[in-house]
Amino acid sequence: METAQTLYLNLFGEDKIHVLKELLHACVDEICGRPGPTYHKFVNSMDWSKEEYEETYKLISTLLRHPASLYLTEEKMPQEYHELPEQIQQNILSCLKVRREQLTDALLIECSKEKHETVIDFDWRLKLVMGSSKLASLREPLLQLDLILENKNSKRILDFELNKDELDTFINTMEGIVLECKQNN
């Protein structure tokens, strides 16, 4: 444990604390689905080997992905957190406080994809049906809705064609689900 503390003190001394902050936020970006940190991005600002970078990146990513970290209380933080020097712990907590909502959302989506299909995007088109073989002048608006669903293995598109009444029912059902989820949390 003492060698790990010495390593991190050497890597993130007072003059390099800005690099730690940048690395923390880059790791959060990666968890949230944006481009994350790379060794090449940090090699010029730090005097560390590829192995030191990989070990540090792995530790920070593990800490940020740990659900207990989102409580923002030191007592609930994982053991690896407590083995770090005080100034690094404080910077991790500061990053978590700033990015907590984004991390929570990203981790919930990630967890949801493991167990269920999740809507990740949608596309829609509005059509005006002017007539049909039964009625010469129907003039009915129809919404074509494509829901892009993803689970841990695949993506698929679920498409709907809804008239106004069906769309109202769909929207009310979705609002009910969201409201129920908020009440359960």
Residues 63-111 pLDDT 10s: 899 888 888 788 888 888 888 888 888 889 999 999 999 999 888 888 8
Structure token digits, residue 21 = 């902050």
Q: How far apart are the first and last CA of the chain?
A: 38
Contact present, 56 and 11 (Cβ < 8 Å): yes
**Residue 38 — φ and ψ, nearest 5°?**
-135, 155
Q: Is the pTM of this model over 0.85?
A: no
- Tally the residues of the chain: 185
Structure token digits, residue 29 = 């970006």
Q: What is the pLDDT of residue 97?
A: 92
Hey, what long-range contacts does 141-147 have (CB within 8 A, 24 or more apart)?
Answer: 143/167, 145/170, 146/122, 147/119, 147/122
